[in-house]
């Protein structure tokens, strides 16, 4: 009885092997890039791209983009790669991402956009200039965020404020935001100005509230 069962099992395995040879699994010669990326990066590669940006690893950024990772992929709390680099004031990485095709106006709810984040950092004029030259909207409003000029006024950097106004930023453009207490408050470049110098400049440019 035992020998007969062993022999039967062997026969079944042999038949299965023949069936596989007769009917091979056919994979597409050129699988879609999305399929390849999904197999290689379970999360789409966005977190790896953000990590490479933070570390300043240009070669890794290029490799990830070349490998199919979406250059405008968003990561909660960070936004896009360009938003992350702009917030950090890393002009070299900003230039490289723009060269690779990053969307200069890509916005993420809760994480702003590249110019909004760049303007919030004092001393970040070079990055602000680069983004504006690349076509960033100086009057952009992102849901649950503020305008680039509001952030610039709050940063205390008068040079950034002046540059943005000289390039079309509306000194009267404000937004209503919801605080953690659920209270709704109006914010504008003028009422968020950190210094008297910025406040005086904005008033001189027509800001009234």
Any bridge partners for residue 177, and if so which? 185
* pTM score: 0.79
Query: What's the pLDDT score for residue 61?
Result: 96
Instruction: Dump the DSSP string for 113-147.
Output: -HHHHHHTSTT-HHHHHHHHHTT--TT---TTS--
Cβ atoms 70, 44 nearer than 8 A: yes
What pLDDT, in 10s, does the model give residues 3-18? Answer: 444 455 455 444 544 4
What pLDDT, in 10s, does the model give residues 50-107? Answer: 999 999 999 999 999 999 999 999 999 999 999 999 999 999 999 999 999 999 999 9
User: Which domains are assigned to the chain?
Assistant: 33-204 (1.25.40.20)
């Amino acid at each position: 009885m035992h020998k007969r069962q062993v022999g039967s099992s062997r026969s079944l395995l042999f038949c299965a092997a023949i069936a596989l040879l007769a009917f091979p699994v056919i994979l597409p010669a050129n699988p879609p890039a999305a399929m390849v990326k999904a197999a290689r990066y379970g999360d789409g590669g966005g977190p790896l791209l953000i990590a490479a940006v933070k570390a300043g690893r240009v070669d890794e950024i290029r490799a990830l983009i070349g490998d199919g990772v979406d250059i405008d992929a968003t990561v909660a709390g960070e936004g896009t790669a360009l938003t992350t680099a702009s917030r950090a004031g890393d002009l070299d990485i900003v230039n490289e991402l723009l060269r690779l095709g990053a969307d200069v106006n890509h916005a993420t709810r809760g994480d702003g956009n590249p110019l909004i984040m760049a303007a919030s950092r004092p001393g970040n004029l070079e990055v602000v200039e680069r983004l504006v030259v690349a076509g960033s909207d100086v009057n952009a409003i992102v849901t649950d965020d503020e305008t680039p000029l509001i952030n610039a006024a709050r940063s205390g950097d008068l040079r950034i404020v002046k540059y943005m106004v000289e390039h079309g930023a509306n000194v009267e453009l404000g937004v209503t935001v919801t605080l953690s207490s659920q209270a709704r408050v109006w914010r504008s470049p003028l009422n968020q100005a950190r210094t008297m110098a910025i406040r005086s400049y904005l008033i001189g440019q027509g800001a009234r509230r």
